[in-house]
Structures are given as structure tokens and as C-alpha cells.
Amino acid sequence: MKRNVLPGLPLSLGVTLFYVGLIVVLPLAALAFKAASLGPSDYWAIISSPRAVASYRVTVLCALGATVFNLVFGLALAWVLTRYRFPGWRFVDAMVDLPFALPTAVAGISLTALFASNGWFGSVLADFGIKVAYTPLGIMVAMAFTSLPFIVRTVQPVLEDLDPALEEAAQSLGGSDWTIFRKVILPLLTPAILAGLSLSFARSLGEFGAIIFIAGNQPMSTEITALLVFIRLEEYDYQAAAAIASVLLITAFVMLAVTNILQARALRYTVRS
Amino acid sequence: MKIRLDRVVKTFNTFRAVKDVSLDIESGELVALLGPSGSGKTTILRMVAGLEYADGGHIYFGEQDATDIPVRDRGVGFVFQHYALFPHMTVAENIAFGMKVSKVKREKAEIASRVEDLLRLVRLEGLGGRFPAQISGGQRQRVALARALAVDPKVLLLDEPFGALDANVRRDLRRWLREIHDELGITTLFVTHDQEEALDLADRVVILNEGQIVQQGTPEQVCRDPKSAFVTRFLGDANRLSAEVRGGIAYAGGASIAAGDLADGAAELYARPGDLSWSQEGPGIAASITRVLDRPGGRRVITITTDGDHLEFDVEPELSVRAGQQGYVSLRRAQVFAV
């Protein structure tokens, strides 16, 4: 057997597997088990109830919206933070992590205060007839806020490692700035962008604390799926809670699988012959 | 295309990287910019390319003032030290990049056939479908050259093109680049810190130090007639001896040699390892051997003179020398410079 330089593989492997099993797999299995204890027809009836479907719709659409917003804004932020050094750079760079560090309830309350019709932003937007708090738009704002760091922090290191000579080479070959961005920089960032997008979307699907303050939580219009799970739980309807939660779980899994496939495709050039 | 640099200046913050450099490169010439790191050679190359802008002076391509033309419109082919191939494109896509983004629209079939021609030129037929990560360093640099040539550049610029390759590959690629240059006749400027590479490859060598040209000429001119101690030292191994010039003759510890029209006074004398010889009897500079290094082509002897100077030279493989031996070093040839 080939000896490894670092000792203790069996021990560390054992600890790792035990940990993953106990902390990750077991709760998920319990969830699946609970949901499976319903009959197929009951399960289907719960997850396809109009109120549940409405909650999927608002959750997924808002998460998509927030992710697209973060794609554009996060990419721009990552670009500025890597390419330029300006007074206050360090401060802005640190601020990016704030949504990670801030308790989501605090974020939710601040956003609600800002966007309420008498808040700083809300009162201005109200003049234009735009209502954010207690509408799906508010949900989107909360999701975008809490998931912004994912895109910035996945793209930033890749952008920093990009060899400036690649851009210079493309320039010397006659490429315009836009062509260089589209054909050279963007394809090299794609794997990182995909990773950031999937994390951002997954986080938005599952976000709870920041959203419930700003959402208004009206069934059928501004009630997110995570909240519906919570309500069922409060009613001691564990099976229904597990059933609806399983939908979120499956969505997250499918999405993760899809992004992994896309990432592998985007990275096929790194495979050696 | 003839290139002319007219009193070009470049400053980074407060550091003057290039100071008033003027240089003419004839059409079809292959010129090496040679110098130690920090001598400004790469900065000059990048200014010719348009990757840096000159703070003063002008750069002419033919009769046209190209000083402020951006790199993408300057029509130069640039080859980078670390290849700078696009990692997500195949070899063929890399070579085709310049033709695809060009304002001149080309048919797909035309691009494909040109890519094939270029792959043949750089002897990489059949590797068009590989990604850069799947080929060797030498092959990558050949792809980079093909990519630069694909846009029919007026000038080819190479920045330490073989710097990242190992010795054997370097030598092969050097000869091969010379052949390509002779075949295409394209004006070529390349940067290197390796004297052997510059002397091997170039029609003309421009030697730089601290942002200025210290000497330029054919390899023969700079080797046979270096104008300064710096050039002598930089072009290759040289032994340095303190000397004294009296009446046109330089004297250095028991040896003497003609010093041309140098004025009387203190001087320094440089001799290549091949310019010294060893004898047991003298005359010459008294010295004792400290080490003998055996090499395939001969024996390198390291000695220390009674004045404490170290002298290195080569002797015939048959000669029996060993550490500790006393003897005399005589001068067959040397360069003498006033201090």
C-alpha cells in the first residue's frame, strides 16, 4: 500500500464521515422519513395545495429576481474591488461580508424600517408609486441583501488570479474591450459565477429571518415556503411541515446537481489528456 | 516595417525606467534588447507594442507617428514570456482569435485554412484540437507565436520568449525562430537577459543598462569590441584585474598587454577564461590553484593570485593540474578600461 506523508487517514476519514452522517445526512433522512410516512395521495395533496403552490411561486420568483440582481451587481462589485484601489477600498471590501455576519432578523428589521412607507427609501419610492415593504418586491430585497456576498466572494479570487497578459494578448490581437470581456474574461469566470449563483439562489430559497419582517406574510401572495413550513410546525402538523420542506430540499438538490454539471462543462478545458 | 524610437522616456511613479532612448530598427531586421533586470528593456518593448505609453519622445512605424496609437490598432504581434494562451480555447481557436475579432471579416473556411497553414508553420499539425493545458511549454510558445502571426503583424515583439523553458528546448526554439524569421522576413524585436540567446539569434544586439542604451551592434562588434566594463562583464564570464597603464601598456602583477590609446593611470583589465593560459615556469601572474572543475570539453581552473584576485580559465583536458599547485597565468588577450 502506498504510504501517505500525512498520517492518520483512517482516523480523520472516520471522524469526517461520522460528522457528515450525524450533522447532515441524519436530519435530512429524518425529514424524508417523516414526509414518507404520509401516503402518496396525502403527500401530493399537501404539496399541491393552492396555498403551498402560491408560496413556491413567490419564493422561487423572488429568489430568481434576487439572484439576477446579485449577478449583475455582485459581478460589478467584484470587478471594482479587484481592478481598482480607491480611498475606502478596505471599508467597502469589509462591508461585502456584512450580510453574512449580521443576524438576519436585524437585517429584516432594518430593511423594513428603510422601505416602510414612512422610511427613508420607502417614502421616496412611494412618490413614484412603488411599494416595497409587504410586497414580493420586499421579499426580493431581503433575499438580495442576504445573498450578495456569495457572488462577490466566489468571483473575486478568480478575477484576481486572472493573468493580465491574457487581456493584453487579446488587445494586441485587435479585440475590443467588449469582445475581450465576452470571449476571454467571462468564460474564465463562468465556473465561479455558476458557483456563486447556485449558492445565492439556494440561500434565497431558504432565507427566513430577514424576509418575514418585510414580507407582510399574506397567504397566497407574500407568504414564502419556509414560513409555511414554520406555520405547519406551529400547528403541530409535523407531516405537512416535512412534506413542504421536502419540496424545498428536492429543489435545492436538483439545482445543485445542474450547476455542478454546468460547472464541469465550463471547466472541461482544464482536463489533461 | 522600419521602427524608430526618438528620445523615448518612461517614468513609473518616480522611477525613470527608460531615459531618452533613441533606436532605429531596419525593416526585416531581427534585433535583441539585452540587459539585466530593471534595465528598461521590457518597458521599451511594451511601449513599441502600445501596452505602455511613453511619457516623452516618439515612436515611428515607418513614417507614421505611432506613439499614441492604441495597441489594438497598432498591428503588432506580441509574444509573452508565459505564453498568455487563452486556457478555455483550443489551440486552433487561440490561433483563430485575432482573425475572428478583426474588423476585416473573413469566411469561416478561410480562417480554418489559415489556422492549418500556421499550425504547419510552427510544426504542430494535428494538435489544433488540444487545449493549452494538454501540450508542453515549448509547444505552447509555438502556439503563441502562431497566434501572433495570424493577424499579419507589421512587427513581431517577443518578451523573454524562451525564459520559462528548459535549456534544450530553448536552443531548439531559438534556431527555429531564426528560420521562421528568415522565411517571413518580418521585423522582429525581442527582449532577453540571456547573452547567449541574444548573440545566437539576433542580427543586432542592443545592450541596455539603467534605462539607457550602453552599446549596440552586430554580435561580432559587441563581442570583439565592447566599449565599457559593463558590456564586457555582461556579455560573459570575465576575470577582472587591477592594472596600471604606462605609455600605452597595461601592467597587472607580472603580466602586460597593449592598452591602445588609454591615458596613463589606474585601469581595470578584463580577460575571458579562454584568454588566459597556465604554465609552471612563467612569465606571468604568480598564482596558486584553489580548485579544478572538470567539464566535458576541458578543465576549468580556479586560481588565486598573490594579490588576492580570483582568476578562472580553461586548460586542455590532458593537462595535469590539481589544487595547491603554484604557477603562472599569462594573458593572451584582454580588454582594458580606465577606472
Residue-wise pLDDT for B26-40, tens only, equals 999 999 999 999 899
Q: Could you give the dihedral angle defined by the CA atoms of residues B99, B100, B105 and B106, in that order, rounded to the nearest 10 degrees?
A: 70
Residues of chain B with pLDDT > 90, as a percent, come to: 60
| Domain at A39-270, CATH homologous superfamily | MetI-like (1.10.3720.10)
Closest Cα partner for B46 from A168, A184, A163? A168
pLDDT at A1: 54
pLDDT in tens, B273-311: 988 989 888 788 889 999 999 988 888 999 998 888 889
**Is A270 at the interface with chain B, CB within 8 A?**
yes
pLDDT at B284: 86
Distances from the Cα of B254 to the Cα of A229, B211, B243, B282, B309, angstroms: 100, 39, 10, 9, 13
Interatomic CA distance for residues B12 and B213, integer angstroms: 19
pLDDT band, residue A253 (cuts 50/70/90): confident
The CB density around residue A88, as the number of other CB atoms within 10 Å, is 8
Give me the residue from A165, A176, A183 closest to B84, CB to CB.
Answer: A165
Residues of chain A with pLDDT > 70, as a percent, come to: 97
| Rounded CA Rg of chain A | 22
pLDDT band, residue A273 (cuts 50/70/90): very low
For residue B7, give every residue at least 6 positions away whose Cβ sits within 8 Å of its Cβ, in sequence order, or none: B20, B21, B22, B56, B57, B58
Q: Which residues in A lie closer than 8 A to residue B77 (C-beta atoms)? A: 172
Cβ separation B72–A272 shorter than 8 A:
no
pLDDT at B6: 93
Q: What is the largest CA-CA distance in chain A?
A: 74
Interatomic CA distance for residues B232 and B333, integer angstroms: 13
- Domains of chain B and CATH, by start: 3-231 (3.40.50.300), 237-338 (2.40.50.140)
Q: What is the mean pLDDT of residues A124-134?
A: 86
Degrees to nearest 5, angle at CA B50 with B184 and B186: 10
pLDDT band, residue B113 (cuts 50/70/90): very high
pLDDT at B105: 84
Q: Which residues in A lie closer than 8 A to residue B102 (C-beta atoms)? A: 174
pLDDT in tens, B174-228: 888 999 999 999 999 999 999 999 999 999 999 999 999 999 999 999 999 999 9
Residue of A nearest to B98 (CA): A173
Nearest-CA distance from A182 to chain B in Å?
Answer: 11
Do residues B34 and B204 lie in contact, with contact meaning Cβ atoms separated by under 8 Å?
no
pLDDT at A122: 86
Distances from the Cα of A191 to the Cα of A154, A272, B133, angstroms: 9, 18, 17
Q: Which residues in A lie closer than 8 A to residue B150 (C-beta atoms)? A: 173
Interatomic CA distance for residues A83 and B106, integer angstroms: 34
Nearest-CA distance from A162 to chain B in Å?
Answer: 10
pLDDT at A272: 55
| Domains in chain A: boundaries | 39-270
**Is A166 at the interface with chain B, CB within 8 A?**
yes
Interatomic CA distance for residues A5 and A235, integer angstroms: 55
The lowest-confidence range among B83-92, B106-115, B307-316 is B307-316
Q: What is the mean pLDDT of residues B11-27?
A: 91
pLDDT in tens, A198-232: 999 999 998 998 999 988 888 888 899 999 999 99
Interatomic CA distance for residues A103 and B299, integer angstroms: 75
Distances from the Cα of A253 to the Cα of A21, A37, A202, B265, angstroms: 17, 21, 9, 86
Q: Is the pLDDT of residue B159 over 60?
A: yes
Residue of A nearest to B52 (CA): A168
**Is A165 at the interface with chain B, CB within 8 A?**
yes
If one compares B114 and A6, the residue with the highest pLDDT of the two is B114
Q: Is the pLDDT of residue B321 over 70?
A: yes
Q: What is the mean pLDDT of residues B49-53?
A: 93
Q: Which residues in A lie closer than 8 A to residue B84 (C-beta atoms)? A: 163, 165-166, 168-169
Give me the residue from A163, A176, A271 closest to B84, CB to CB.
Answer: A163
Q: Strand locations in chain B, DSSP E?
A: 3-12, 15-25, 30-34, 56-61, 64-65, 76-79, 155-159, 187-192, 204-209, 212-217, 239-246, 249-252, 255-258, 265-271, 276-279, 285-295, 298-305, 310-315, 326-331, 335-338
Most confident of A49-53, A250-254, B162-166, B323-327: A49-53
Q: Which residues in B lie closer than 8 A to residue A187 (C-beta atoms)? A: 88
Predicted complex ipTM exceeds 0.90: no
Give me the residue from B71, B134, B147 closest to A171, CB to CB.
Answer: B71
Upstream peptide bond of A99 is cis (omega within 30 degrees of 0):
no
Helix/strand/coil for B127: coil
Q: Is the pLDDT of residue A3 over 80?
A: no
Q: Which residues in A lie closer than 8 A to residue B144 (C-beta atoms)? A: 169
For residue B338, give every residue at least 6 positions away whose Cβ sits within 8 Å of its Cβ, in sequence order, or none: B245, B262, B263, B265, B266, B267
Q: What is the mean pLDDT of residues A11-22?
A: 90
Interatomic CA distance for residues A174 and B49, integer angstroms: 12
Give me the residue from B78, B103, B131 closest to A172, CB to CB.
Answer: B78
pLDDT at B255: 84
Do residues B198 and B192 lie in contact, with contact meaning Cβ atoms separated by under 8 Å?
yes
pLDDT at A59: 94
